[in-house]
C-alpha cells in the first residue's frame, strides 16, 4: 500500500510514529527469525523491512500503489521509484492485495504490517493470504488497537472534526480492527493463533519529550492493563483439516527397532522341583 497516498509516511516520521515503528521492528525481527521455508511476502508498508531477520531465499514486497500509480489486478515489478534499503533482499511488486500473483499453497510466510486496517476490503485480503499460504504456513499481523488511549483519542478527534475543529492524531484513512474481531476472522479461515502481544502503552502525545516522561507506563501497562496497548501483534498458523504431516522414514524404523519383542511359547514353563524330580526319580517329595 502506498503510505504517501494515505498520509502514513509523514505520520511515521513524527515522535509517536517513530516510537511505534521501534516497537514493531523488534517484534517482527523476533517473530520471523525462527520461521523457515523458501518464499516470504510482506504486504504493504514499505517503510519497514519486516523480513530483514528472516533467512528465506525468496522475499517479496507487494504494494498496490506507488507515487500515484495504482493497480486493480495483479501485475508488474516496480522500478527504481520504489525506494528500499540497499541491504534489503525483497523484490518489490505492484499488485492488488486481494489478487496476489502467486499460485495457491505457494508461500511459507506472509507479513501484514497494518495492511488489513488500511485495506479497502480487509476480508478479501485475509482470504487471499489464506489461499497463497502453504498448510502450516505462518501469517504475522500488526494493527492499531481501537481499545487503547490512542484509539480513544482518534475517536475524540473525529468527533471534533465533525464540529469543525481539531486534527487527527493518527492517519485519517483506515478502520481499526479490534483484536478479538481479528481472531474471529482468523478462526473462520482455519488459522490458529500461536501468540499475541500488545505494546505502546504511552499516551497519545505528539512530542518526544513527553513520550519519554511516560516511559514508566510500558512496564505498568504490560502488567496491569496488557490488552489496552496502542498496537497488537499476532502470529497465526494455517491449519488444514484432515492433513497428516509425513515424518522421515528413519524415525519410524528407529521406533520399531526400539520396541520390545514378545515371544509366545505353547508349553508352559515347568518349575525347578518338577524338572529335578523328572531327572532323578529317587528324590523324595
> Roughly how many angstroms between the first and final C-alpha of the chain, as a whole number?
98
87-127: per-residue pLDDT in tens?
Answer: 457 788 888 888 899 999 999 999 999 999 888 889 999 99
**Does 219 fall in a domain?**
yes
Percent above pLDDT 70 for the chain: 73
Question: What pLDDT, on a 0 to 100 scale, did the predictor assign at position 52?
Answer: 92
Question: What pLDDT, on a 0 to 100 scale, did the predictor assign at position 69?
Answer: 40
What is the signed CA dihedral for 278, 279, 284, 285, rounded to 10 degrees? -30
CATH code of the domain in which 232 resides: 3.40.50.150
Question: What pLDDT, on a 0 to 100 scale, did the predictor assign at position 271?
Answer: 55
Strand locations in 95-246, DSSP E? 107-113, 133-144, 191-199, 231-238
What is the signed CA dihedral for 37, 39, 44, 50, rounded to 10 degrees? 40
Domain count, the chain: 1
Residue among 98, 108, 102, 101 at smallest CA distance from 134:
108
**Does 262 fall in a domain?**
no
**Does 272 fall in a domain?**
no
Q: Measured between alpha carbons, how far is 125 from 122 in angstroms, rounded to an integer?
A: 5
User: Is the model more confident about 243 or about 59?
Assistant: 59
Q: Are the beta carbons of 133 and 43 closer than 8 angstroms?
A: no
**Does 273 fall in a domain?**
no
Confidence of residue 66 (pLDDT cuts 50, 70, 90): low
Across 37-46, 235-244, 256-265, which has the greatest mean pLDDT? 37-46
**Does 159 fall in a domain?**
yes
Three cell numbers, residue 183: 481472531
Q: Measured between alpha carbons, how far is 273 from 153 in angstroms, rounded to an integer?
A: 93
**Does 80 fall in a domain?**
yes
- The answer for residues whose C-beta is within 8 angstroms of residue 84's C-beta and 6 or more apart is 46, 49, 61, 90, 92
Total residues belonging to the chain: 285
Confidence of residue 155 (pLDDT cuts 50, 70, 90): confident
**Does 256 fall in a domain?**
no
Domain range for 178 is: 3-238
Q: Measured between alpha carbons, how far is 50 from 40 in angstroms, rounded to an integer?
A: 10
**Does 246 fall in a domain?**
no
Q: Measured between alpha carbons, how far is 129 from 238 in angstroms, rounded to an integer?
A: 10
Taking residue 202's Cβ as centre, other Cβ atoms within 10 Å add up to 22
Amino acid at each position: 500500500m502506498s503510505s504517501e497516498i494515505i498520509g502514513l509516511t509523514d505520520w511515521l516520521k513524527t515522535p509517536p510514529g517513530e516510537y511505534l515503528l521501534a516497537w514493531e521492528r523488534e517484534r517482527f525481527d523476533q517473530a520471523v527469525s525462527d520461521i523457515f521455508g523458501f518464499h516470504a511476502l510482506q504486504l504493504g508498508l514499505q517503510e519497514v523491512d519486516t523480513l530483514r531477520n528472516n533467512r528465506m531465499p525468496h522475499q517479496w514486497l507487494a504494494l498496490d500503489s506507488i507515487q500515484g500509480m495504482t493497480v486493480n489486478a495483479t501485475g508488474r515489478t516496480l522500478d527504481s521509484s520504489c525506494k528500499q534499503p540497499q541491504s534489503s533482499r525483497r523484490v518489490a511488486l505492484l499488485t492488488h492485495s486481494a489478487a496476489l500473483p502467486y499460485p495457491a499453497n505457494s508461500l511459507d510466510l506472509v507479513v501484514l504490517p497494518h495492511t488489513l486496517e488500511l485495506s479497502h476490503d480487509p476480508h478479501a485480503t485475509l482470504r487471499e493470504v489464506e489461499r497463497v499460504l502453504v498448510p502450516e504456513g505462518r501469517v504475522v499481523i500488526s494493527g492499531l488497537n481501537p481499545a487503547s488511549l490512542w484509539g480513544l483519542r482518534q475517536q475524540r478527534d473525529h468527533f471534533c472534526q465533525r464540529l469543525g475543529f481539531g486534527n487527527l492524531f493518527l492517519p485519517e484513512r483506515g478502520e481499526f480492527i479490534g483484536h478479538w474481531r481479528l481472531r474471529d476472522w482468523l478462526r473462520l479461515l482455519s488459522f490458529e493463533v500461536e501468540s499475541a502481544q500488545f505494546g505502546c502503552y504511552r499516551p497519545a502525545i505528539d512530542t518526544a519529550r513527553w513520550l519519554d516522561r511516560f516511559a514508566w507506563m510500558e512496564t505498568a501497562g504490560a502488567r496491569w492493563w496488557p490488552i489496552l496497548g496502542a498496537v497488537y501483534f499476532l502470529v497465526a498458523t494455517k491449519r488444514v483439516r484432515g492433513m497428516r504431516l509425513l515424518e522421515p522414514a528413519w524415525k519410524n524404523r528407529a521406533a520399531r527397532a526400539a520396541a520390545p519383542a514378545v515371544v509366545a511359547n505353547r508349553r508352559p514353563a515347568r518349575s525347578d522341583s518338577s524338572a529335578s524330580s523328572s531327572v532323578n526319580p529317587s528324590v523324595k517329595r
